[in-house]
């Protein structure tokens, strides 16, 4: 009896799964075209899954082992079950293999079950609470049904009662694991996830690579859409990527905006995109809401505008583009790309950049700097430094990219410190001076691709006039944009952050350094240096060379918490319950360090904005310049400070 | 409301870089026009239709902007007057003063005189338009507002008391059409015989504050600026009133 029932159940579920898969594929294909190597991606998929994805999951040992047992056991059980019970290949070996597979799966599922007993708030509840039971049921039912095949129990044991029980168990199991996989159940993550890995929009991320630069919009074609208005405006593989979300909430746990009580939760955002892709409301979402926004009031459709239907604009503007969510995501979903895509529509089509956004963008267009300062004042900070201008020397070894910090009095101290270091090392360096423009970072993160491209193209034109070996900058945002985003517009350069360059100078013995004399020091990793560019070591090497033993924060390195200053977040200024820099300062205070070393003008500004008493904030360049031992004229360095008369204040 | 609203715009210049942009006050005139007439707002510029800075206005959501082709230095008074009359404008909005060119701030006055329309300076808000009469709020110094009833057609200038202009977006700015129209060119005789030079800022009268306490200083700082002289006329006939005003104007050298 079981021999007729099981094949029917198995093949019905499989057929329905295939139907569901086709339906899901049609939903993804509503998206815009995207150039993807379809076959190559599929071939690379197993490796991406077993190696790249596993690396991310492996950070959580408990979950990685659980998942290996459960998923591995399931895949094996499913294949064997189809052979044994579907096609009736009742061989003893297959039977034993299936028994082993189900046992492995069952033991994995037990750990899934255990974690679900008291789940952390980041995990989604709802149907996800059912999943461990379904897994256990699937494994147990097939285990018992296979015992006769392996010859452990005689055929027909248990009579019709057992048949009925097994029938129900198998029905439950295959409904969740085959049918549910393509019809939107929790197991959808396996089906969509596998294809998402195969056709990922940033294939360079696999095999240890890094791909963090935003993709340019085509502004030449007047018919090309300017960003994403409706779910169908995403590319099809972005839609597929949203569908891969397993709702583990690792992004939510890391998101600085969520922690600050701003109305953003990366997990919910991705789930909202799934709602947009399939149509419906968020009433059935079983995870944490956007802080301050109740669930059940938003809904969407593939052809309806996303903003102010499915997602509120504030949600999109809360993001600091710190990429903590992307770094954590075990499914390698690209949250930041999606957010910037939607911001692009708001800024380029609707003119709806909130708060100071419009003013900053206008300033960038009219003065090439976000503050609207007269462009002629760009080099005022270096009036007495006799810096070489590229327009005069034409060629140099190191081009020092100053950045818009040139207009900020606090950052000018960093810049002057770095110039002191450069001069002490004796390297040949020059600056662009008044020819330099904003790198376009803020404009691009605020969604103004047009202004970004204009600034970038003009900078590239300027740079093309001169010869230099490399660009060095104290600003990780300029660094990232010059290094990773100018390439698509025709500007390929060797770019270094000043921490990397100073580390090189120290290693080459070009700097004569004393030892740091202040108190204990911790180091804050800037997002755009660390997560965006993988530079965690050089700043620590520099600090080590100064005799500093870094007191690491709990969240450091790739898990560093954002200072709140990226992505134009201080400009759009979406209110929350607390400020992101205050939270970061609490992280810093935990280390009991007296000084925090930073490597970014944004981080400096945000952290110094925290009210005192708090640890002091110093840029790496300042720390190095403080302990620099200069051979020539050591006396003259101290005298000007004493003569200084108070300037007239207006 | 089917009142024909037209906003006049010019090319602006950023105060610190001097780069061409949409003019701040003119953008406010467009904003007010959009709030009043929506898609029916007509926007016009007299000058060069190839000037890209005009797209800054299109980016506010206009599908087209009429440009009366004029070379630099031409007198646009007559051309604009004819255009406004032919278009049947009921309410014309303009910035108080251009950021480029002569920038004398005289155009609205000369235009109103030429058309024979009333002029409201410093328009802050249009409250209602009924039966050919507009009820508007005029901005006065120190945040004061004066409610005026003015018959249409009406010319009004806006300054920083008018609503802030909306953001100019790239998409609509790129799609919008700069519709060039040929227009008669009249040379400005003023430019032919006189040279332009930047205005010197008027010296500020020094304000001596004799206050002793904080409260006195506060009072002095917030007090209305008041001239020393003048007299209040009450219950006088129109004839007497007009004579008093005329006498004052002659005394002050406004009329000769």
Question: For residue A302, is it within any domain?
Answer: yes
Domain finish residue from A350, A379, A396: A350
Q: How many residues in chain A?
A: 650
User: Rounded distance, CA A224 to CA A226, Å?
Assistant: 6
Looking at residue B219, what is its pLDDT? Answer: 78
Looking at residue B187, what is its pLDDT? Answer: 86
CATH number, residue A338: 1.10.1060
* Paired residues of A603 in beta bridges: none
Q: What is the pLDDT of residues B36-77, one digit of tens each?
A: 999 999 999 999 999 999 999 999 999 999 999 999 889 999
Looking at residue B198, what is its pLDDT? Answer: 78
Domains present along chain B, CATH in parentheses: 5-193 (3.40.50.620), 218-252 (no CATH)
Would the CB atoms of A353 and B60 count as touching at under 8 Å?
no
Domain finish residue from A304, A330, A350: A350
Question: For residue A631, is it within any domain?
Answer: no
Would the CB atoms of A361 and B167 count as touching at under 8 Å?
yes
Confidence band of A642 (pLDDT split at 50, 70, 90) = very low
Of B19, B61, B169, the CB nearest to A348: B169
Which residues 6+ apart lie within 8 Å of A41 measured at CB? A198, A199, A200, A203
User: Rounded distance, CA A183 to CA A192, Å?
Assistant: 11
Q: Please list the alpha-helical segments (H only) found in A127-158.
A: 127-150
Least confident of A198-212, B125-139, B162-176, B202-216: B202-216
Examine the domain organization and report whether A387 and A321 are in the same domain.
no
Of A352, A372, A451, the CB nearest to B167: A352
Question: For residue A248, is it within any domain?
Answer: yes
Confidence band of B224 (pLDDT split at 50, 70, 90) = low
Examine the domain organization and report whether A307 and A377 are in the same domain.
no
Query: In chain B, what percentage of residues exceed pLDDT 70?
Result: 96
Across B26-31, average pLDDT = 97
Q: What is the pLDDT of residues A442-476, one digit of tens each?
A: 999 999 999 999 999 999 999 999 999 999 999 99
Examine the domain organization and report whether A469 and A556 are in the same domain.
yes
Examine the domain organization and report whether A161 and A35 are in the same domain.
yes
Question: For residue A234, is it within any domain?
Answer: no
Which residues 6+ apart lie within 8 Å of A425 measured at CB? A505, A510, A511
A50, burial (CB in 10 Å: exposed 0-12, middle 13-18, buried 19+): exposed
Residues in chain B closer than 8 A to A365 (CB atoms) = 19, 21
Residues in chain B closer than 8 A to A356 (CB atoms) = none
- For A375, name the nearest residue in chain B, comparing CA atoms only: B17
Q: What ipTM describes this predicted complex?
A: 0.88
Looking at residue A640, what is its pLDDT? Answer: 44
Question: For residue A217, is it within any domain?
Answer: no
Domain that holds residue A547: 361-626
Examine the domain organization and report whether A46 and A131 are in the same domain.
yes
Q: What is the pLDDT of residues B150-191, one digit of tens each?
A: 999 999 999 999 999 999 999 999 999 999 999 889 888 877
User: Rounded distance, CA A103 to CA A108, Å?
Assistant: 9
What is the pLDDT of chain A when averaged over all its residues? 93
Phi then psi for residue A546, to 5 deg, are: -90, 5
Examine the domain organization and report whether A142 and A271 are in the same domain.
no
Phi then psi for residue B182, to 5 deg, are: -75, 145
Question: For residue A230, is it within any domain?
Answer: no
Which residues 2-21 of B are in CB contact (within 8 Å) with A? 14, 16-17, 19, 21
Examine the domain organization and report whether A583 and A621 are in the same domain.
yes
Question: For residue A247, is it within any domain?
Answer: yes
Examine the domain organization and report whether A335 and A389 are in the same domain.
no
Of A351, A372, A373, the CB nearest to B167: A351
Examine the domain organization and report whether A374 and A344 are in the same domain.
no
Confidence band of A343 (pLDDT split at 50, 70, 90) = very high
Give the burial string for A369-406 (b: 16+ CB within 10 Å, else e): bbebbebeebbebbeeeebeebeeeeebebbbbbbbbb
Examine the domain organization and report whether A7 and A92 are in the same domain.
yes
Looking at residue A434, what is its pLDDT? Answer: 95
Give me the sheet containing B133-139, strands edge to edge: B123-130, B133-139, B145-151
Examine the domain organization and report whether A513 and A480 are in the same domain.
yes
Would the CB atoms of A374 and B17 count as touching at under 8 Å?
yes
**What is the number of structural domains in chain A?**
3
How far is the CA of A196 from the CAs of A39, A190, A231, in angstroms?
A: 13, 10, 17
Looking at residue A647, what is its pLDDT? Answer: 54
Question: For residue A256, is it within any domain?
Answer: yes
Q: What is the pTM of this model?
A: 0.91
Examine the domain organization and report whether A333 and A437 are in the same domain.
no
Looking at residue A644, what is its pLDDT? Answer: 47
């Amino acid at each position: 009896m079981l021999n007729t029932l099981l094949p029917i159940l198995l093949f019905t579920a499989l057929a329905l799964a295939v139907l569901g898969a086709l339906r899901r594929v049609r939903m993804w294909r509503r998206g815009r075209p995207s150039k993807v190597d379809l076959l190559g991606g599929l071939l690379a998929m197993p490796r991406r899954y077993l190696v790249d994805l596993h690396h991310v999951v492996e950070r959580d040992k408990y979950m990685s082992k659980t998942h290996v047992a459960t998923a591995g056991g399931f895949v094996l059980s499913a294949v064997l079950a189809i052979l044994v019970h579907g096609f009736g290949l009742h061989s003893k070996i297959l039977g034993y293999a299936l028994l082993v597979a189900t046992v492995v799966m069952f033991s994995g599922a037990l750990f899934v079950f255990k974690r679900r007993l008291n789940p952390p708030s980041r995990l989604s509840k709802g149907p996800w609470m059912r999943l461990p039971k379904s897994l256990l049921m699937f494994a147990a039912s097939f285990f018992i049904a296979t015992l006769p095949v392996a010859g452990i129990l005689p055929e027909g044991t248990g009579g019709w009662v057992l048949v009925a029980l097994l029938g129900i168990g198998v029905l439950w199991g295959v409904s969740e694991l085959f049918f549910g996989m393509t019809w939107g159940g929790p197991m959808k993550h396996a089906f969509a996830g596998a294809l998402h890995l195969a056709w990922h929009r940033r294939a360079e991320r696999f095999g240890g690579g890094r791909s963090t630069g935003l993709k340019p919009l085509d502004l030449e074609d007047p018919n090309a859409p300017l960003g994403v208005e409706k779910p169908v405006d995403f590319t099809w593989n972005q839609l597929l990527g949203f569908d891969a979300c397993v709702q583990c909430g690792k992004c939510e746990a890391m998101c600085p905006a969520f922690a600050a009580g701003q109305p953003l939760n990366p997990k919910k955002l991705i789930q909202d995109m799934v709602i947009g892709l399939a149509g419906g409301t968020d009433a059935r979402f079983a995870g944490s809401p956007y802080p301050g926004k109740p669930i059940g009031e938003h809904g969407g459709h593939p052809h309806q505008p996303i903003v102010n239907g499915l997602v509120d604009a504030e949600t999109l503007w809360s993001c600091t583009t710190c990429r903590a969510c992307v770094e954590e995501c075990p499914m390698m979903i690209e949250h930041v790309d999606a957010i910037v895509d939607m911001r692009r529509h708001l800024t380029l089509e609707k003119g709806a950049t909130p708060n100071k956004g419009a003013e900053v963008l206008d300033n960038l267009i009219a003065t090439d700097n976000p503050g609207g300062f007269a462009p002629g004042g760009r080099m005022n900070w270096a009036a007495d430094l006799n810096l070489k201008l590229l327009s005069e020397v034409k060629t140099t070894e190191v081009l020092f990219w100053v950045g818009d910090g040139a207009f900020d009095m606090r950052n000018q101290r960093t810049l002057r410190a770095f110039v002191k270091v450069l001069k002490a090392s004796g390297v040949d360096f020059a600056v662009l001076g008044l020819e330099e423009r904003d790198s376009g970072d803020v404009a691009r993160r605020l969604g103004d691709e047009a202004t970004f491209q204009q600034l970038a193209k003009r900078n590239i034109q300027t740079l093309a006039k001169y010869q230099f070996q490399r660009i060095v900058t104290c600003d990780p945002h300029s660094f990232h944009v010059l290094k990773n985003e100018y390439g698509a517009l025709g500007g390929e350069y060797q770019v270094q952050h000043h921490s990397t360059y100073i580390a090189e100078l120290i290693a080459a013995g070009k700097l004569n350094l004393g030892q740091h004399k202040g108190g204990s020091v911790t180091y804050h990793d800037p997002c755009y240096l660390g997560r965006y560019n993988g530079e965690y070591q050089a700043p620590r090497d520099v600090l080590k060379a100064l005799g500093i033993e870094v007191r690491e924060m709990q969240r450091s390195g790739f898990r560093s918490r954002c200072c709140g200053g990226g992505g134009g977040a201080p400009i759009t200024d979406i209110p929350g319950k607390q400020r992101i820099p205050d939270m970061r300062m609490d992280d810093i205070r935990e280390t009991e360090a007296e000084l925090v070393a930073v490597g970014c003008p944004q981080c400096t500004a945000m952290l110094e904005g925290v009210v005192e008493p708090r640890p002091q904030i110093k840029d790496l360049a300042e720390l190095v310049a403080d302990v620099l031992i200069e051979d020539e004229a050591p006396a003259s360095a101290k005298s000007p400070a004493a003569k200084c008369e108070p300037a007239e204040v207006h | 409301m089917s009142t024909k609203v037209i906003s006049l715009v010019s090319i602006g210049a950023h105060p610190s870089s001097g780069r061409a942009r949409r003019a701040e006050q003119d953008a406010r005139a467009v904003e007010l026009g959009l709030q009043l007439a929506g898609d029916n707002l007509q926007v016009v510029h007299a000058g060069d239709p190839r000037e890209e800075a005009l797209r800054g206005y299109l980016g506010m959501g206009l599908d087209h902007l009429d440009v009366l082709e004029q070379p630099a230095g031409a007198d646009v008074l007559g051309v604009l007057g004819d255009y406004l009359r032919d278009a049947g404008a009921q309410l014309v909005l303009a910035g108080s003063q251009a950021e480029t060119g002569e920038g004398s701030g005289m155009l609205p006055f000369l235009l109103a005189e030429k058309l024979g329309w009333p002029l409201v300076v410093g328009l802050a808000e249009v409250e209602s338009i009924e039966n050919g009469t507009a009820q508007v709020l005029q901005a006065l110094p120190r945040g004061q507002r004066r409610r005026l009833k003015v018959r249409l057609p009406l010319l009004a200038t806006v300054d920083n008391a008018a609503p802030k202009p909306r953001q100019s977006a790239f998409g609509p700015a790129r799609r919008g059409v700069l519709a060039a129209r040929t227009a008669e060119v009249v040379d400005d005789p003023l430019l032919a015989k006189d040279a332009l030079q930047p205005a010197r800022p008027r010296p500020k009268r020094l304000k001596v504050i004799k206050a002793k306490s904080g409260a006195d200083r506060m009072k002095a700082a917030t007090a209305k600026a008041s001239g020393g002289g003048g007299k209040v006329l009450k219950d006088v006939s129109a004839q007497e009133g007009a004579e008093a005003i005329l006498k004052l104007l002659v005394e002050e050298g406004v009329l000769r």
